[in-house]
Structure 1
Amino acid sequence: MNQRQQISYPLQFLMLLLLVGLFMVFGSLLVAALGSNMLGVSLLQVPDALNRPQNANISRLLNTLATLVAFLIPAILFAKVLSKQPFSWLGFNKRMNGKQVLIVVLITFAGMILSGSLGMLNQKIPLSENLLKQAQQLENAYKNAMMNMAHMTSLTDYLLAMLVMALAPAVFEEVLFRGAFQKVFVGWTKNAWAGIIITSILFSAIHFSFFGFLPRIALGLILGLIFYYTNNLWLSILLHFLNNGFVVTQLYILSAQGKAIDKVMDETMPIWWGSIALILLVVLFRLLLAESNQLKTEKTVTNPEMMTEI
């Protein structure tokens, strides 16, 4: 038996939420202490110092450490409580094939188009003047932090940025949100769509970006469906990495050309493009489901209930 004593889903949610909260606080304190020591400033001066372009590499490394502590460690500890094979429980399975990988790559590009269209739609949501001001302040703070970490002047900077802005977030966020939270919500609601949607909303909200709220919900839904259909966290990590890496690469190319890079963060697409992307996604997900079911018949799947169609 790989599973430990059954814990109710509401209690699982509270346990996971408590772990994330505790490790977020610990991670923030750890980053503040390390930042103060590495930059030679007081604890209160660390946030401002990390936003300086000359400290971009330190900012990237500390941000990665904070995310690791806040997301990865709680998810692994949580999985250890529920299973004697925590990494398998989280979805780190080896069973996948080249066709699945190719379909996920195609889903990535279709998803980018859909997200761009939803970004345009997001901007059209009416807000009161006060709410708009608050949303803009949060957006500016988020954008400034991202732009500072995206400051790249060499190939080394680019490779480091790909590691800490593309790969690390893809792994840490997928382990927590798809590997842990989504499993809890799907089990709790006894409805795959409900669990995936709730997880996607939480995933988007944690980024504190109103103007990117709908695009990130769409990304969360796509990632959630990939994980649900394949029961393989590596495939959702792949899509997440490609999505992040595409943006980092755009930023690097523009930086190398001496062009403004802030527009990449605000890039949107015509809404009608999203309709085409949505049709493509439906087709691609049907192909992914068929391929995953075919793989299921060829090899024993750890959690066969995760392969049923929504």
Structure 2
Amino acid sequence: MAHFATKRYNYWAQLGILTAFCGAGLIFGGLLSLLPLLGKLNLKDFTGASSATLMDKIMVPANATALRWTQFISTLFLFFLPPFFYALLCHRKPLLHLGFTHKVHAKQAILVVLIMLACLPIVGSLQELTEMLPWSKATLQQFKEAEEAYNKQVAVIARMDNFIDYLISVVMIAFLPAVFEETMFRGGLQNLLSRWFKMPILAIIITSIIFSAVHGSYLGFLSRFALGFVLGWVYYRTGNIWLNIIGHFFNNAFAITVLYFSTKPGQKLDPSKIDDHFPLWIGLAGIAAVYGLFKYFEKISKNEIDRPGEEVLIPGYIDTNNPFLSDVENMGNTNQS
């Protein structure tokens, strides 16, 4: 269920406020995220060095802890704090608006995990499909080089020399990004767009495109779009951000776990191992499985599905000056009487 902004901000203003907070988060988060790297680099490293050379000097195993903190700070300021402050400014009950006040039932959580598992062959098939598209050799080579650079960063941040390192990686790379990104993309952006457009599916598509683009993976764009769409559908039907966090966390943690157990002690991590490719027909089977699981998910979640995608007043809150729809005033007056 989506709720009206209970302060006088129209949709353009709400988008502007969210965008402004994101811009501020990008600037302050970018600056503060450099603090863990102080002492790791000399000023000479920044003089006359190309970005690629500078990244090579930063992305070394010795900087793993500092880089984890850098990632934590940057994602906190870019993905979590902006939607939280936006909801705090625009809505009477920010946590309710974002979806943090819902309860999670065991059956729902298990089904969300099964849905994410069923998405794995879809993700692999879409990555296979992406590489089959008629790219030029030069373009495809650039895409692959970008993936290699990304995998190199992941290999350093996700350094797992022992089980403690594995647990730290699960928290820093799986859990915290799941909380931060779902708050931003589903609780903030999709929530706003679905209320604005009155077309929740369009809101899911736009949010999923932005969600995938932000990750900067060309070959994985369609794969992340599909995951974003599935997570968006979960949020659309329940408004429960915790279910999204569970699904997103499982997807990330599953990859980290496979990477940990597939790497022998002392062997260098190779994130490309978790980029499985599947034939297209397996991807179609995955779509059928996801559809069936979602049908059952909706069946057990029917009590939580209350006018999904529609905008309603927060229970117990009466606003006779609501700036959006005239019939809301009537609803408020009815509640008041």
Task: Give the TM-score normalised by structure 2.
Answer: 0.83
Number of corresponding residues? 300
Contact 1:186 1:195 in 2 (8 A): yes
Q: How far is the alpha carbon of 1:150 from its aligned partner?
A: 2.0
Instruction: Report the equivalent of 2:327.
Output: none
CA deviation string 1:91-128 (max 9, x = no partner): 10232312111211110100122111111111112223
CA shift, 1:129, in A, is 4.3
Change (3 A) 1:73 1:30: same
Task: Give aligned-pair identity as a percent.
Answer: 33
User: 2: CA distance between counterparts of 1:53 and 1:272?
Assistant: 40
Q: How does 1:67-86 map to 2 (within 5 A)?
A: 67-86=75-94
Amino acid at match of 2:273: V
Counterpart of 2:106? 98
Report if aligned partners of 1:223, 1:236 keep a CA contact under 8 Å in 2.
Answer: yes
Equivalent of 1:290, from 276, 299, 310?
A: 299
Which residue of structure 2 aligns with residue 179 of structure 1? 187
Aligned partner letter, 1:190: K
The amino acid that maps onto 1:289 is E
Equivalent pair of 1:178/1:224 in contact (CA under 8 Å) = yes
Q: Secondary structure at the match of 2:220?
A: helix
Displacement of 1:261 after TM fit? 2.2
Contact 2:7/2:92 (CA < 8 Å) preserved in 1? no
Q: CA deviation at 1:186?
A: 1.2
Alignment of 1:62-141 (within 5 A): 62-141=70-149
Cross-structure match for 2:25:
23
Contact 2:64-2:157 within 8 A present in 1 as well = yes
8 A contact 1:203–1:220 mirrored in 2 = yes
* Within-5 A mapping of 1:1-310: 3-37=5-39, 39-42=40-43, 44=46, 47-257=55-265, 258=267, 261-295=270-304, 304-306=306-308
Which consecutive unaligned segments of at least 5 residues does structure 2 have?
A: 311-337
Q: Deviation at 1:222? A: 0.6
Structure-2 separation of matches of 1:8 and 1:217: 28
1:2 deviation in Å? 8.7
Q: Distance in 1 between matches of 2:87 and 2:125?
A: 36
Q: Distance in 2 between matches of 1:183 and 1:307?
A: 8
- Structure with larger Rg: 2
Question: Match for 2:81: what amino acid?
Answer: I
Displacement of 1:152 in angstroms is 1.2
Contact 1:52 1:148 in 2 (8 A): yes
If each structure's helix is expressed as a fraction of its own residues, which one has the higher value?
A: 1
Letter in 2 for 1:261: D
Find the aligned partners of 1:33 and 1:86 in 2 and give their Cα distance.
30
RMSD, aligned α-carbons: 2.2
When residues 172 and 260 of structure 1 are mapped into structure 2, their CA distance, relative to the original with a 3 A threshold, is closer
Q: Return the alpha-carbon distance in structure 1 between the equivalents of residues 222 and 129 of structure 2.
A: 8
Contact 2:259 2:274 in 1 (8 A): no
250-259 or 40-49: bigger deviation: 40-49
For residue 16 of structure 2, what is the amino acid of its counterpart?
L
Could you tell me the TM-score, scaled by structure 1's length?
A: 0.89
Q: 1:172 to 1:52 in 2, by over 3 A?
A: same
C-alpha contact 1:117 1:269 (8 A) present in aligned 2 = yes
Q: For structure 1, which segment, 176-185 or 133-142, has the greater mean C-alpha deviation from structure 2 after superposition?
A: 133-142
Segment of structure 1 superposing worse, 49-58 or 261-270: 261-270
Q: Give the AA of the match of 2:157.
A: M
| 1:151 alignment partner, SS class | coil
* 2-structure distance, mates of 1:193, 1:2: 19
Give, in angstroms, the shift of residue 60 of structure 1: 1.4
Whether the aligned pair in 2 keeps the contact of 1:50 and 1:56 (CA below 8 Å) is no
Q: Relative contact order (alpha carbons < 8 A, sep ≥ 6): 1 or 2 greater?
A: 2
Give the Cα separation in 2 of the matches to 1:41 and 1:255. 33
CA distance, structure 1, for counterparts of residue 243 and residue 55 of structure 2: 34
For residues 65-93 of structure 1, the C-alpha deviation after alignment (integer angstroms, 9 at most, x for no partner) is 11011111111111111212111110102
Instruction: Tell me, in whole angstroms, the C-alpha distance in 1 between the residues paired with 2:193 and 2:141.
Output: 33
In 1, Cα distance between the equivalents of 2:251 and 2:221?
Answer: 16
